[in-house]
Amino acid sequence: MKKKSLPPTLIISLGKFVWTTMWKIMMSQLAPRNKSGEYLRPESQFRNFINSEVDRPYPPEKGRYKLIVGMSCPWAHRTLVVRTLKGLEEVIGVIQVSLSSDRGGWVFDREEEGCSSLAELYQLALPGYRGRCTVPVLWDTKTKTIVNNESAEIIVMLDSEFNSFASNSSLDLYPEGLREKIDLWNDKIYHSVNNGVYKCGFAQTQEAYNSACKELFATLDEIDVALSRSRYLCGDSLTLADVRLFTTLFRFDIAYYGLFKCNLRRIADYENLGGYLRDIYQFSGVADTCSLEDIKQEYYNLFPLNPGGIIPAGPDITNLLVPHDRDKISQDRS
């Protein structure tokens, strides 16, 4: 007797139900959300500061601190860019971690402080810690603890607190006279762009995605107009606002455009943003902090977003070496 097979419509409906249910469970672990399905980024937990004032527990010292970074992570990338621009390579060491889909987090290539994973290092720093184990981490090798894991604060410290050791100490990425303007750009860019791409990619409802995508591209359009008038966000000199934007822009056409559904326009399609990206990429040493392959491998292995695990062949980023001509903007204004 010939067995009857299930109707194709039933198989498809059952498959959709199972996958959607599993997707929601996995996304709830990967990306916490509010009731409307919008991604909510948890706040960093370790917020101490390196400071040269007397009796502070974390004074600036050469060789004492290390940055723990994942090369795919835009937040960690900020710290590498500032470290390079300031000339702190011989002052602050770097330890790299990689994302492990099997262990569900960052792991060390070889043990550090007796730890094989970043989660274990967080427990070493604070036994019983229950928060997220994120990069970057500013690690104190003397006290065996995490000084800070908030990238926005780490880059301020790297810019200002190690000048006595820096080979490019004259560079000031957060000058007093521009801080108000820098902070305004930082706030706008964080919510709409830096975190905005994640709100698109990790949205769990159509409404949440539509809102995040609209805000993202409205802000990119606004930035593009602003960059038609000045070489950088706050004038003719690079600041921390530019560094914070750069690491998101570098990943945009590589990962966010396709994988995170930020596909209204590429950065390369913008009249000014494309040249601005090339300008910063071509700063001495900055390209060495940019790892195309790490970004592709670790973003496209986010299982809920790319269950097939196929890594795209492109894009070709040699276009980032094309002359940017951004210096002509300040010359034309003068």
Tell me the two tokens of residue 194. Answer: 């830096």
CA gap 324, 15 in Å, rounded = 49
Nearest to 193 by CA among 246, 143, 264, 236: 246
- Catalytic residue, chosen from 39, 198, 209, 257, is 198
Size of the chain in residues: 334
CA gap 170, 136 in Å, rounded = 25
- Catalytic residue, chosen from 58, 73, 122, 276, is 73
Q: How far is CA 312 from CA 33, 279, 298, in A?
A: 28, 26, 12
Nearest to 137 by CA among 120, 154, 149, 155: 149
Catalytic-residue membership of 198? yes
CA gap 61, 63 in Å, rounded = 6
Distance from chain centroid for Cα 73: 4
Catalytic-residue membership of 276? no
Residue 21 φ then ψ, to 5°: -65, -45
CA gap 334, 332 in Å, rounded = 6
Distance from chain centroid for Cα 72: 8
Which residues are the active-site residues? 73, 198
